[in-house]
């Protein structure tokens, strides 16, 4: 019988701490540290090759990325990456060291107690960096807008003739002259920063739209876009964060992976329902909640929706129509019972994920 060697790695920017369990042994056969450079890779690979038999390696996902995973798998070993938020923790364990963490990972891998993530390929990871960079730039833009509006408010200026950040707003803002020796200079610098950040968001958006038109992504993006509230950027977020949705056997599994299912703390005959877990992909969760607000009003056939649905299959159009009707009814039903609209939006977002899952079973990247 071949012996299975279980290797847990505590991945850190400065060093890797490695623990090796041989078969079902309780104590580690070897523990050592290596520097994460080329010499360290060679030492780790030489150690794994010298073991013989089947070698399984694992480490937790973190800021160091997936380079270690890709190198080990390219060398012919099976390396897995565990989800840190789902790794079991003992409440009474108060001592945490790199050595203990590495040994814990090896033991949990052997016991099958780890939740392993799907590592994206380099191309999809690059796309994900692009989409997340746009999200960060959008937050920066929102931040400078808040700073501008609060500065104006402190000097008694508030725009009341429509929506802010339109051409009329900027025309109004250009006529304002703040009192004080330095205040107007501050406002001018903020306006300049706003222009730079808006241009950065536009550049990222254009790059995302260009990528979405590639043949390998175009059909998937257009299929997801038949759903109201899902545009190109939203669809690319789903693609880059989740990949192929067929890996989720059911829609509730996808909902749980995004953290949109309610938490529960029950014991005996007592059942306590809690807010959503938020234990999942926050980027897709945000996209889903933002899209859910489109179902607050009665669905209409606007030009944008008609354009996105033109040329799509009957099956996809049927999913989109059922989504429109069901989610609008749910939104109206919940708010009419006195539920806050924010609570209704989250509930609608959870069901929207179910329709996204249904589309993902028909079309995939």
Confidence grade of residue 1 (pLDDT, cut at 50, 70, 90): low
- CATH number of the domain bearing residue 78: 3.30.420.10
Report whether pLDDT(5) > 70.
yes
Report whether pLDDT(19) > 90.
yes
C-alpha distances out from residue 292 to 18, 251, 285, 286, 345, Å: 45, 17, 11, 10, 5
Report whether pLDDT(292) > 90.
yes
Q: Are residues 165 and 280 in the same domain?
A: no
Q: Are residues 19 and 146 in the same domain?
A: no
Q: Are residues 67 and 183 in the same domain?
A: no
Angle, helices 215-224/183-212, rounded to nearest 10 degrees:
110
Examine residue 93 and state whether it is found in any structural domain, yes or no. Answer: yes
Report whether pLDDT(21) > 90.
yes
Q: Are residues 35 and 51 in the same domain?
A: yes
Residue 319 structure tokens: 């999913």
CA-nearest of 195, 188, 189 to 140 is 195
Q: Are residues 196 and 257 in the same domain?
A: no
Range of the domain at 156: 122-212
Q: How many separate domains does the chain show?
A: 3
Q: Cα 328–333–334 angle (5° rounding)?
A: 105
Q: Are residues 197 and 329 in the same domain?
A: no
Q: Are residues 192 and 91 in the same domain?
A: no
pTM of the entire predicted model: 0.90
Q: How many angstroms separate the CA atoms of 211 and 204, rounded?
A: 11
Mean pLDDT across the chain, nearest whole number? Answer: 94
pLDDT at 196: 98
Q: Are residues 174 and 47 in the same domain?
A: no
pLDDT at 302: 86
Report whether pLDDT(93) > 90.
no
Last-in-domain residue among 155, 190, 212 = 212
Per-residue pLDDT tens over the stretch 228-272: 999 999 999 999 999 999 999 999 999 999 999 999 888 888 888
Last-in-domain residue among 148, 181, 212 = 212
């Amino acid at each position: 019988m071949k012996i299975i060697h279980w290797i847990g790695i505590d991945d850190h920017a400065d060093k890797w701490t490695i623990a090796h369990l041989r078969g079902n042994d309780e104590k580690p056969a070897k523990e050592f540290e290596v520097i994460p450079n080329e010499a360290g890779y060679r030492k780790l690979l030489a150690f794994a090759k010298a073991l013989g038999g089947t070698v399984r390696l694992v480490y937790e996902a973190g800021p160091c990325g997936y380079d270690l995973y890709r190198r080990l798998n390219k060398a012919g070993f099976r390396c897995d990456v565990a989800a840190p938020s789902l790794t079991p923790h003992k409440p009474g364990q108060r001592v945490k060291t790199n050595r203990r963490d590495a040994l814990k990972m090896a033991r949990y891998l052997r016991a099958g107690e780890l939740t392993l993530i799907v590592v994206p390929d380099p191309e999809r990871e690059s796309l994900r960096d692009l989409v997340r960079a746009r999200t960060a730039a959008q937050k920066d833009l929102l931040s400078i807008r808040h700073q501008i509006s609060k500065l104006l408010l402190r000097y008694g200026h508030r725009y009341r003739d429509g929506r802010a950040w339109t051409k009329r707003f900027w025309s109004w803002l250009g006529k304002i002259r703040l009192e004080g020796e330095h205040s107007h200079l501050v406002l001018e610098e903020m306006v300049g920063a706003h222009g730079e950040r808006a241009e950065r968001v536009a550049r990222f958006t254009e790059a995302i739209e260009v990528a979405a038109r590639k043949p390998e992504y175009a059909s998937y993006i257009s299929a997801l876009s038949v759903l109201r509230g899902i545009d190109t950027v939203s669809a690319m977020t789903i693609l880059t964060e989740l990949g192929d949705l067929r890996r989720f056997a059911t829609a509730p599994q996808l909902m749980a992976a995004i953290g949109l299912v309610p938490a529960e703390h029950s014991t005996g005959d007592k059942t306590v329902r809690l807010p959503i877990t938020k234990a999942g992909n926050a980027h897709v969760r945000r996209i889903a909640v933002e899209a859910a607000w489109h179902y607050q009003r009665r669905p209409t056939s606007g030009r944008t929706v008609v354009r996105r649905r033109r040329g799509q299959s009957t099956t996809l159009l049927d999913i989109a129509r059922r989504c429109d009707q069901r989610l609008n009814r749910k939104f109206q039903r919940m708010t009419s019972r006195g539920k806050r609209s924010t609570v209704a939006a989250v509930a609608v977002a959870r069901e929207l994920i179910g329709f996204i899952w249904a589309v993902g079973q028909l079309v995939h990247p």
